A and B are shown apart, each in its own frame.
Chain A
């Protein structure tokens, strides 16, 4: 393996191991999401959801739950000196970006593995839409992982880190939200999943992922300089 790949694997492994041992982010994200479903049940006064309402509730919940995890993504690096260690190490700094983005992607996938079935049990009549839904969420998570890692790494070095991540990330996630809910809405329509403009929305999601992974790759170096 090249040194960059080694560094990537080491940082990713360290992050996943730390999360497994401390369980700092994931349980909180899942719990938050389930509680939010309950709040939507009463806020909307619905016991079953379909179409655009279902898509909106699912996406908004996942997005806000993701922000909880994104907020904490770099906290240990800053508080325990991880940033300094990586600056000192003779490795390509983009390894940190991709490792952190992969860790975040893994968190989001685990979160959805837990939370989306609960959403289906709570609000949906059938589970027929879940396989294509998984594809949409995978693409959306990729984009969220790219932008989330980028914003989180900057916000953590500021005075107002808990405030800045949602503030900057939410507008940045608007195109992602439009495309994700656009694809999810027909999937969760009453009377079985539909695929209206499904491919187009997937293409928009893919474009978003591509652009922000490239931008992250291009600018991340400058965030670690000191």
Chain B
């Protein structure tokens, strides 16, 4: 049931990625100040925005889970956070490349957005050891939801604290005095944001489909009294 609509969604994602990448390379003008390297902006910023929004969505699913007690919402929350952590790795790598090209160092400590993102990433990276250290399935789901809510409250607070601690050198492209991004760049950026957002949704849907399929398979095996291959060393969230 989770596989429904997966094919059109995947096709739309691929199309959006192709369109946005063509816009990035053939339509958007070269940045006068930074040149070609500025084009990584169209990947880095949408990835970061999508990852952060994904963390928040994970927190919202966690609230739904605690309110309703349905295991489905916990799996949604888990998959959202999982995908956002993967996107987070990409954000840190692309950010690092940009920092190297733009400021000459792979890592710049007085760059509040990058540092905040690292801290948020480290916070969410502890989601996995935390979750899998709890054996009882229902307790695990409840605790993971509490974690997702606590971490969700932590994200904005962390951004405030880090921003206050440091000088402002991150390019503030949307709010400069002379109106920010020119129209063609803004269009390309929005197209990239849409494409990356779609990619996130598609991957989340794929993982949910896979989880639902393996859950069904496990139930069938149990019904047939067949041994589960690999042994269940980790209690992973399931979708029914």
Contacts from A to B (Cβ < 8 Å):
147, 150, 154-155, 157-161, 163-164, 167-168, 171-172, 174-175, 178-179, 182, 197, 200-201, 204, 207-208, 211-212, 215, 218-219, 222-223, 225-226
Contacts and interface: CB of A to CB of B under 8 A. Distances in A.
A158 B123 CA distance: 18
Interface centre among A160, A175, A207, A211, by most chain B C-beta atoms within 10 angstroms, is A175
Interface residues of B, number: 28
B9 to A, nearest CB: 33
A222 B141 CA distance: 11
A179 B162 CA distance: 9
B142 A160 contact: no
B143 A223 contact: yes
Given A168-B130, A179-B161, A215-B153, A174 B147 contact: no
Given A160-B133, A167-B126, A167-B129, A172 B154 contact: yes
Given A154-B130, A167-B130, 15 more contacts: A150-B146, A154-B143, A155-B133, A159-B133, A167-B126, A168-B130, A171-B122, A174-B123, A175-B157, A175-B158, A178-B164, A200-B164, A211-B153, A223-B146, A226-B139
A208 B157 contact: yes
A97 to B, nearest CB: 12
A207 B157 contact: yes
Given A168-B147, A200-B164, A211 B134 contact: no
A164 B164 contact: no
B144 to A, nearest CB: 10
Contacts of A182: 164-165
A215 B63 CA distance: 12
Given A159-B135, A204-B164, A219-B66, A171 B149 contact: no
Contact of B139 (A157, A168, A218): A157
Contacts of B154: 172, 175
Contacts of B133: 155, 158-161, 163-164
Contact of B146 (A154, A167, A197, A207): A154
A164 B160 contact: no
A219 B150 CA distance: 9
B15 interface: no
B115 to A, nearest CB: 10
B119 interface: yes
Contacts of A178: 161-162, 164-165
Given A182-B165, A204-B161, A225-B142, A215 B129 contact: no
Given A174-B119, A175-B157, A178-B165, A163 B150 contact: no
A46 to B, nearest CB: 22
A200 B147 CA distance: 28
A172 to B, nearest CB: 6
Nearest to B156: A211
B52 to A, nearest CB: 16
A175 B150 contact: no
B135 to A, nearest CB: 7
A77 to B, nearest CB: 15
A36 to B, nearest CB: 23
A215 B149 contact: yes
10 contacts: A150-B150, A154-B146, A158-B133, A159-B135, A168-B126, A175-B157, A175-B158, A178-B162, A215-B153, A226-B139
B145 interface: yes
A158 B134 contact: yes
B235 to A, nearest CB: 11
Nearest to A197: B164
Contacts of B123: 171-172, 174
7 smallest beta-carbon distances between A and B, as pairs: A175-B161, A158-B133, A171-B123, A160-B133, A178-B161, A171-B122, A158-B134
Contacts of A179: 161, 164
A204 B164 CA distance: 9
Contacts of A161: 133
B63 to A, nearest CB: 9
B112 to A, nearest CB: 11
B164 A154 contact: no
